[in-house]
Chains A and B, each alone.
Chain A
Amino acid sequence: MLSFVLSRILQSFIVMIGVSLVAFSLFTYVGDPISNLVGIQTSDEKREQLRESLGLNEPAPVQFVNFLGRVSQFDFGISYQQKRKVSSIIAERLPATLELSFVSALLALLIGVPAGIYTALNRDSWVSHLMLSASLIGVSLPTFLIGIMLIFVFAVQIQILPSFGRGEVVQLGFWSTGFLTASGLKALIMPSITLALFQMTLIMRLVRSEMLEVLRADYIKFARARGLSDRMVHFGYALMNTLVPVITITGLQLGSIIAFAIITETVFQWPGLGLMFIQAINEVDIPVMSTYLLLIACFFVIINLVVDLLYYFVDPRLRIKQGQ
């Protein structure tokens, strides 16, 4: 038990060290950090002084440890392009991405689960067939194409929804929210649908196949034999047993939503972390890039760790396997 938890934590730790190493090497060896900080007129002596004071003349392992120390205090350096602290850029952009991802995840669940139940219970209805074919198209279409089509229809042709940005935002302390204004909510509609679509189809197919599996189980037959109503059998017994894997997968998909947000944010010029990353790549803004790398890796590692550990507590079979 303890050994499993420890080995999982160790693995997460190794991954983070690996990613930090990549981020560190990018930071230190790609381009010259000094020439990105000072003007052309700065003398060589000044440069050398700066180099010394930033610790860039230390041996690489020492620099790496210093780097880890700074990162653990949320000091990610200064953006080459914006000449501002990366940490403040991130803090500014984070709410936009989190709000978009939250709404998308909610949308995916609220539509995906009922659609999955419906297609499982009414296997032969034409609505189910339609939904399944539509979901296949949803899976094979690239996200950005769906976004462009939505923009074309709702922003260019009908002109009822804005095609870019977050609309008006309200500042609540450090958090800027789009939930409180009409234009903010309107701006959220298309990006969140675009982002939710893939997860939605995934959840729908998952719920459907799990439900079909469960409906074949003996305890369902037994419940029917006891004369319970269809409603009770479907929602009281089948659905409850379907939801455990669905919740796990949804948890794992949270990471994917953040990742796919890169694409959605670019299509809709949504001022979040993903757009920041793409801009950083194009502008070769290394500090911003490597910070995003660290952040997203950290996020994924935590999600996976939590899901794995939860699984371990929920599913007794895993524990038995470990004991043998």
Chain B
Amino acid sequence: MTEMPREHEADNVANLMQRIWRSDIAYSFRSSKVTVVAGLITAIFMLSALFAPWVAPHDPYNMANVSVLDAFLPPSWMEGGDPRYLLGTDNIGRDVFSTIIHGSRISLGVGFASVFFAATLGVTLGLISGYVGGRTDAFIMRIAEIQLSFPDILIALLIDGTIRSILGPGAHGNIAFVVVISAISLAYWVQFARTVRSTTMVEKSKEYIQAARVTGKSPLYIMFRHLLPNVMGPVLVIATIMLALAIVTEATLSFLGVGVPPTQPSLGTLIRVGNDFLFSGEWWITIFPGAALAIMGLSVNLLGDWLRDALNPKLR
């Protein structure tokens, strides 16, 4: 069976593509121009982030290639610009365009990691809360409620600040990444947990779960084997919306100087560094990373909004 002829496989792939193309979701995607543009921009950002070392015209981290003589060059179309540096260079002569590509790689990476951990934590706690119920449920939901009464960016900032001060001034390099990612994921697990909990409570009383229980399956098995696949739809929607939020939160933390280290700058760090040169006229060092962040955040946000509406049967 596994040895399928090549043509068959190609046929199947074509078939699958056709089915995807004809599906409701693909239709609603195609029929919204804004969403298509947002999707394209997001795809471009993700691809260039994924292949940053090959896409970026310069390697901004290789100090051997960076020359201070090239510092503060304006964008190439302006007077005094250098055609080698499309969007100009920063204070130590790094190509701004390349730092943006590498920066968005880090922004997206931290964003994805944070959303992944937030989802893992939130889904697990939501499943337990919804399936076990009783005191466990009351306890978890009370914590969630308390956390929801604070703005998430404040939660992230407070957790980040607290962990940082515990670690002391040594919290640089890779530890800073761990701190930022855990702060953001601890700030965003609640939304996942609440949604998963309510879906779980609906699913729990259905017959297939009762059947699984009768056959003597353990609660853990039922939760992850039977319930999990049925709550993944809403989780995906929240994850997309959360990705935009996580990117913005990471940028904010980095801008405030408590985010990722300046040796591996994200878009937020680039804006922070460039901000010092805004007044001396070198606006491109901060405005271009800022624009990149704005466009990326907006596109992912629009994509999340669309996904939420497309998967919500009430709105059809």
Partner-B contacts on A (CB < 8 A):
11, 15, 22, 26, 30-31, 136-137, 139-145, 148-149, 151-152, 155-156, 163, 252, 255-256, 259-260, 262-263, 266, 277-278, 281-282, 284, 286, 289, 293, 296, 300, 304
Contacts and interface: CB of A to CB of B under 8 A. Distances in A.
A282 B258 contact: yes
A156 B158 contact: no
Interface string B149-171: 11101100110011011101100
A154 B154 CA distance: 28
Given A30-B166, A278-B257, A148 B290 contact: yes
B36 to A, nearest CB: 17
A11 B143 CA distance: 10
B290 A22 contact: no
Given A148-B290, A163-B279, 15 more contacts: A15-B146, A26-B162, A30-B165, A30-B168, A136-B298, A136-B301, A140-B297, A149-B290, A156-B283, A252-B149, A263-B255, A266-B256, A278-B256, A284-B168, A296-B154
Contacts of B298: 136-137, 140-141
A5 B271 CA distance: 47
> Which of B164, B168, B256, B286 counts the most A-chain CB atoms under 10 A from its CB?
B256
A266 B271 CA distance: 13
Contact of B165 (A26, A137, A145, A259): A26
B47 interface: no
28 contacts: A11-B142, A11-B146, A30-B166, A136-B301, A141-B294, A142-B255, A142-B294, A143-B252, A144-B251, A144-B255, A144-B271, A145-B293, A145-B294, A148-B275, A148-B287, A152-B278, A152-B283, A156-B283, A163-B279, A256-B151, A263-B153, A277-B161, A278-B258, A282-B257, A289-B161, A293-B162, A296-B158, A300-B150
Among B154, B168, B169, B271, the one with the most A-chain Cβ atoms within 10 Å of its Cβ is B154
A43 B279 CA distance: 49
User: Which 5 pairs show the lowest CB-CB distances between chains A and B?
Assistant: A259-B154, A140-B301, A281-B161, A142-B248, A256-B151
B166 A263 contact: no
A127 B161 CA distance: 43
A260 B248 contact: no
A141 B154 CA distance: 17
Interface string B253-280: 0011110000000000001000100110
Q: Is the interface of A mostly helix, strand, loop or mixed?
A: helix
B227 interface: no
A262 B255 CA distance: 12
Which of B165, B168, B279, B302 counts the most chain A CB atoms within 10 A? B165
Contact of A255 (B151, B169, B255, B275): B151
A156 B154 CA distance: 30
Given A156-B278, A278-B258, A148 B271 contact: yes
A284 B169 contact: yes
Contact of A140 (B244, B252, B287, B290): B244
Interface residues of B, number: 39
A11 B293 CA distance: 39
A151 B278 contact: yes
Contacts of B244: 140
Given A148-B278, A266-B256, A260 B297 contact: no
B164 A281 contact: yes
A14 to B, nearest CB: 9
Interface string B292-308: 01100110011000000
Contacts of B142: 11
Contacts of A11: 142, 146
Contact of B153 (A15, A139, A252, A259): A259
A289 B158 CA distance: 9
Contacts of A163: 279
Contacts of A256: 151, 154
Nearest to A137: B298
B271 A156 contact: no
Interface in B155-190: 157-158, 161-162, 164-166, 168-169
Given A140-B244, A142-B297, A144-B271, A260 B287 contact: no
Contacts of B158: 293, 296
Contacts of B146: 11, 15
Contact of B149 (A151, A155, A289, A304): A304
B71 to A, nearest CB: 20
A252 B165 CA distance: 29
A227 B158 CA distance: 56
Nearest to A252: B149
A31 B168 contact: yes
Contacts of A149: 290
Interface string B220-259: 0000000000000000000000001000100110011110
A300 B149 CA distance: 8
Interface string B117-158: 000000000000000000000000010001001110110011
A255 B150 contact: yes
B92 to A, nearest CB: 21
B287 A152 contact: yes
Given A143-B252, A282-B257, A260 B161 contact: no
A209 to B, nearest CB: 14
Nearest to B272: A144
A156 B244 CA distance: 30
Contacts of A142: 248, 251-252, 255, 293-294, 297
Nearest to B252: A142
Contacts of A259: 150-151, 153-154
B271 A145 contact: yes
Contacts of B302: 136
